[in-house]
Amino acid sequence: MGILLVSGAVLALCTAARWYLDRTSRGERTYAGGWVRLRTLWNEGAAFGLPLPKGGLIALSLLALSALFCLRRKSGAGTALILGGGVSNLLERLRRGRVYDYLQFPKAPRPLNRYVYNLADLFIFTGAVLLGKRRKVRGKR
């Protein structure tokens, strides 16, 4: 139940951020000493602007859901973040045929500094890091 609650909160937060920025964003703005830039654009491809084949959206979504189902016990928090961010991007793509991206990190290492992300992408990335971490096993020394 916790996974669904956190996923729902992530989905709500991503939706609210997109809604707000879609209505108020005008031009580029930089924050945090140039580390964060708000730069809005519509991504019609997959992650990192890769082309998304016809019918690929459903296939990729089902593949991702099955992988998450298998890994859910490794990190409930990671699973929840990926699920919430993934559903947010999926709903945006189904509704508009593209995804609204707005965060860029100009001072990040190359090539990450050239891409524009959204909050859902950051939740997905954070969830993947949590799923990739080794779980500490309690027991005998």
User: Catalytic positions, please?
Assistant: 101, 121
Higher pLDDT, 54 or 8: 8
Which pLDDT band, with edges at 50, 70 and 90, does 93 fall under?
Answer: confident
In Å, what is the CA distance from 130 to each residue of 10, 11, 78, 100? 16, 18, 5, 25
For the segment 16-21, the average pLDDT, to the nearest whole number, is 89
Q: How far apart are CA 87 and CA 72, in angstroms?
A: 16
Which pLDDT band, with edges at 50, 70 and 90, does 14 fall under?
Answer: very high
For the segment 89-113, the average pLDDT, to the nearest whole number, is 90
Q: How far apart are CA 57 and CA 137, in angstroms?
A: 37
Going from N- to C-terminal start, the domains of the chain cover: 2-24+45-132
Residue 26 pLDDT > 90, yes or no? Answer: no
pTM exceeding the 0.85 threshold for the entire prediction:
no
Give the model's pLDDT for residue 54.
Answer: 65
